[in-house]
A = this chain, B = another copy of it.
Amino acid sequence: MELHPRVKPHLSEIERIMQDELGKEEPRIYGMLAPFLKRGGKRIRPALCLLSCGAVGGKYEDVLQPAAIIELFHNFTLVHDDIEDDSQFRRGEPTLHVSYGIPIALNSGDALYTLLWNKLVSLRLPPSRLVKLEQLYAASFKRVVDGQGLELAWIKEGRFDVSEEDYLAMIYGKTSALMGLSCEAGAMIAGGGKRLRSALRDYGEKIGAAFQIQDDVLNLTGDFEKYKKEIGGDITEGKRTFMVVHCLARAGEKDKQRLTAILSSHSKEKADIDEAVGILKASGSIDYARKKAEKLVKDAKKRIGSLKDGDDKTNLLAIADYVVNREA
């Protein structure tokens, strides 16, 4: 993800804000969160927030705190999602519940979520603007949590009748809502009007959906050294990914039965995972997913076509391409 040099120091500043915030708190509760955040991550959400603000004529300085809050929320969801999915690795290192046990990891997630709300309600903005921003954040957070809940419910209920539309509705919550928020918050704080805010929100949501589909693809076909999560983890977790949904809608009876059997078994066996990947490949589902992600990116770029030309717009377009070209 190549960003123009003006952005980098501001991303570093956001990093510092997050570390400072955690460093002030009780180490037995927040101590594991600072290194968890230091593991890195793409910081795509803060970048979107900065660039959207800039693209609308605002100053990066004005969105450092709001962007940090969004990244903190993202990390909160990672801690809890890893428990829910029983994921073993995050950014190449053991997940928090693997290192500290579920009770402590769960509470630290709650602590992080509560901390970021404390930050949000204390932002230095005129109260009427602050309340509007809070409402935007709260509504977006809700879509993220609800999206995750829907995915868990499908697995729990053993449902395999998930349509492409259902899947897209789910990831427009789980993943798109926060990227859309990043863009809209940046535009809002920059004082952007309704039309600009809506264009950037849509752009963010579309690349969010593309990001999630690409993530589903990488989870199956990626390289652990780059992806830094267990490959095939989605198969073990029984996730209804875009490829699974596509495949089940068109594979033959035998393949469908095998795929649903493997997904329902929560198997960690390499042979099972390889077989599932083979079925998904043979049905053309992985290619179909890649194409869908590319289409979403194309639409996202179109949505911000009317923005004023400049570095910020160029970077937003580059992020859109990065989302589908990334290997990690």
Binding site for B on A (CB under 8 A): 25-26, 28-29, 80, 83-85, 100-104, 106-108, 110-111, 113-115, 117-118, 121-122, 127-128, 130-131, 134-135, 138-139, 141-142, 145-146, 148-150, 152-153, 156-157
Contact = CB atoms under 8 A, between A and B. Distances in A.
Given A104-B149, A118-B138, 20 more contacts: A25-B146, A28-B149, A29-B146, A80-B106, A80-B110, A83-B106, A84-B103, A85-B103, A104-B153, A104-B156, A107-B145, A107-B152, A118-B135, A118-B139, A118-B142, A122-B135, A127-B127, A127-B128, A127-B131, A130-B131
A146 B152 CA distance: 28
Contacts of A156: 100-101, 103-104
Nearest to A144: B114
A104 B157 CA distance: 11
B131 A103 contact: no
Contacts of A110: 80, 113, 145, 148
Nearest to A128: B127
B127 A114 contact: no
**How many copies of this protein are present in the complex?**
2
Contacts of A108: 149
A236 to B, nearest CB: 14
Q: Which 9 pairs between the two chains have the least Cβ-Cβ distance?
A: A29-B149, A127-B127, A84-B103, A28-B153, A121-B134, A127-B128, A118-B138, A107-B149, A127-B131
Given A117-B138, A127-B131, A111 B149 contact: yes
Contact of A106 (B84, B115, B128): B84
A118 to B, nearest CB: 4
A2 to B, nearest CB: 35
A32 to B, nearest CB: 11
Contact of A28 (B84, B121, B150): B150
A192 B130 CA distance: 25
Contacts of A142: 111, 114-115, 118
A128 B125 CA distance: 11
A152 B104 contact: yes
B106 A26 contact: no
Given A29-B149, A115-B142, A149-B28, A80 B107 contact: yes
A138 B107 CA distance: 16
